[in-house]
């Protein structure tokens, strides 16, 4: 087995260029830029390059009591959307010179996992948090935080413009002659649907507005329950919370003998790249994960730099893409 290469230390750099360890440390950290000569800075730069020196960031953080790590607390729903979001967040955080620490929660033990997530962040002395939950713990621990998906009065946040998404979905269905509309979603999306379905000249019924249980929702069961609750009398079109519910609706509808889009048009509010490869390909609001994650990281770094600045928020309206799951209403 080859011998493990010894890590180059700050002392090695100091010995190489014939300077004191403290001066080398100041020059490398830029703290002593004004108090060091160009010649000494040149010597240190050459030594760092020659020895391939890489600072021990963990030790530096312990000494400074300051971390270069950003925590990400997000649900583990098992959907492609969250996987794509995690990947883009990791890329964006790395691009800004930080490392990322991810922690996930969800399912029956969601509360316990969430508590463990927060405790892990506190122990690691992270620089800030990107969270899917507006926990008061971040304020109590004085940790800069930005929240995704929830408007709130305590933290900076990034949200989708859900009201406009609902309006555009309704108008999209109306253009294809649909009049009777249902929805499988949660919270504000269902509320916006109730507010705007009539204003758009369309109709719905209470049994066509299905409230999903967010963290423990079982998308494969949702359409079946929806079908039973409306007594088998389905609307012309169905708006689904995300591609997960829409895909499950396609599967369940086929088992019930309901043809999509011939008997029922379907549109997904949140979606990833997979919607284009279904049969039929889904009409959907395609999320730009790079835009969302860029805004989240940008807001958090601004909050880290200016802890007392006024709260900021960003609202994003995804693009609605017409594919194959919405067609002219035959009725």
**DSSP string of 196-214, one letter each residue:** HHTTTT-B--GGGEEE--T
Q: Which of 24-38, 112-126, 264-278 has the lowest mean pLDDT?
A: 24-38
Residue 60 lies in a domain: no
Residue 178 lies in a domain: yes
Ramachandran quadrant class, 193 (left: phi over 0; alpha: psi -120 to 50; beta: rest): alpha
Give the pLDDT confidence of 266-308 residue by residue, as tens digits: 999 988 777 888 889 999 999 999 999 999 999 999 999 899 9
| pLDDT tier for residue 238 given thresholds of 50, 70 and 90 | very high
Cα distances (Å, whole numbers) of residue 281 to 145, 228, 327: 37, 26, 12
Residues 6 or more apart from 285 whose CB is under 8 A from it? 165, 168, 169, 268, 269, 270, 271, 318, 319, 320, 321
Antiparallel, parallel or unpaired: β 283-286 and 319-321 = antiparallel
Domain contains 321: no
Same domain, residue pair 30 and 43: yes
> To which H or E segment does residue 316 belong?
strand 313-316
Residues 202, 271 within the same domain:
yes
Q: Which is more confident, 41 or 171?
A: 171
Shared domain for 259 and 189, answered yes or no, is: yes
**What was the pLDDT predicted at 32?**
41
Residue 227 is assigned to a structural domain of this protein? yes
Indicate if 139 and 169 belong to the same structural domain.
Answer: no
Same domain, 186 and 282: yes
- Residues 177, 190 within the same domain: yes
Structure tokens that stand for 104 in this block: 């996930």
| Total domains, the chain | 3
Distance CA 139, CA 136 (A): 5
Give mean pLDDT, residues 94-116. 75
- Residues 271, 133, single domain; the answer is no
Q: How sure is the predictor about 144, in pLDDT bands with cuts at 50, 70 and 90? A: very high
For residues 283 and 293, state if they share a domain: no
Cα-to-chain-centroid distance, residue 258: 34
Indicate whether 1 belongs to any domain: no
Q: Which residue would you say has higher pLDDT here, 214 or 146?
A: 146
Residue 71: enclosing H or E segment and its boundaries? strand 69-75
pLDDT at 105 over 90: no
- Domain range for 268 is 162-287
pLDDT at 44: 86
pLDDT confidence of residue 77: 58
pLDDT tens profile 57-80:
555 554 444 568 999 988 875 566
Same domain, 178 and 243: yes
In a domain, 62, yes or no: no
Is the pLDDT higher at 105 or at 19? 19
**Mean confidence (pLDDT) of the chain:** 85
Q: pTM of this prediction?
A: 0.75
Whether residues 168 and 217 share a domain: the answer is yes
Q: Are residues 219 and 119 in the same domain?
A: no
Same domain, 156 and 166: no
For a pLDDT cut of 90, what percent of the chain falls above it? 49
What's the per-residue H, E or C state across 2-59?
A: CCCCCCCCHHHHHHHHCCCHHHHHHHHHCCCCCCCCHHHHHHHHHHHHHHCCCCCHHH
Q: Which residues lie closer than 8 Å to 119 by C-beta, 6 or more apart?
A: none
Report yes or no on 193 lying in a domain: yes
CATH number at residue 42: 1.10.260
Residue 328 lies in a domain: no
- CATH assignment at residue 148: 3.40.50.2300
pLDDT of residue 244 exceeding 50, the answer is yes
pLDDT-based confidence at residue 330 (cuts at 50, 70, 90): confident
């Amino acid at each position: 087995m080859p011998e493990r290469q010894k890590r180059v230390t700050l002392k090695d750099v100091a010995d190489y260029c014939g300077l004191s360890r403290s001066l080398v440390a100041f020059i490398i950290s830029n703290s002593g830029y004004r108090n060091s000569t160009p010649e000494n800075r040149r010597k240190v730069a050459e030594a760092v390059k020659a020895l391939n020196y890489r600072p021990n960031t963990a030790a530096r953080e312990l000494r400074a009591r300051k971390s270069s790590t950003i925590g990400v607390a997000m649900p583990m729903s098992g959907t492609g959307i969250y996987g794509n979001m995690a990947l883009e967040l990791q890329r964006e955080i790395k691009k800004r010179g930080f490392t990322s620490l991810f922690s996930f929660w969800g399912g029956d033990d969601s509360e316990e996992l969430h508590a463990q997530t927060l405790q892990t962040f506190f122990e690691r002395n992270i620089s800030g948090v990107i969270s899917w939950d507006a926990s008061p713990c971040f304020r109590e621990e004085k940790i800069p935080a930005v929240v995704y998906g929830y408007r709130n009065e305590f933290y900076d946040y990034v949200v989708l413009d859900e009201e406009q998404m609902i309006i555009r979905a309704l108008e999209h269905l109306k253009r294809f002659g649909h009049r009777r509309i249902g929805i499988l979603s949660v919270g504000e999306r269902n509320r916006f649907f109730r507010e705007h379905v009539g204003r758009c000249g369309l109709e719905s019924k209470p049994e066509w507005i299905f409230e999903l249980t967010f963290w423990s929702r079982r998308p494969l069961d949702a359409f079946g329950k929806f079908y039973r609750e409306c007594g088998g009398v389905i609307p012309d079109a169905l708006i689904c919370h995300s591609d997960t519910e829409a895909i499950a609706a396609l599967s369940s509808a086929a088992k019930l003998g309901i043809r999509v889009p011939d008997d029922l048009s379907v549109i997904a509010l949140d979606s990833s790249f997979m919607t284009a490869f279904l049969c039929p390909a889904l009409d959907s609001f395609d999320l730009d994960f790079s835009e969302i994650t860029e805004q989240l990281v940008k807001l958090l770094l601004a909050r880290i730099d200016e802890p007392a600045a006024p709260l900021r928020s960003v609202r994003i309206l995804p693009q609605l893409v017409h594919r194959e799951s919405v067609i002219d209403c035959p009725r």
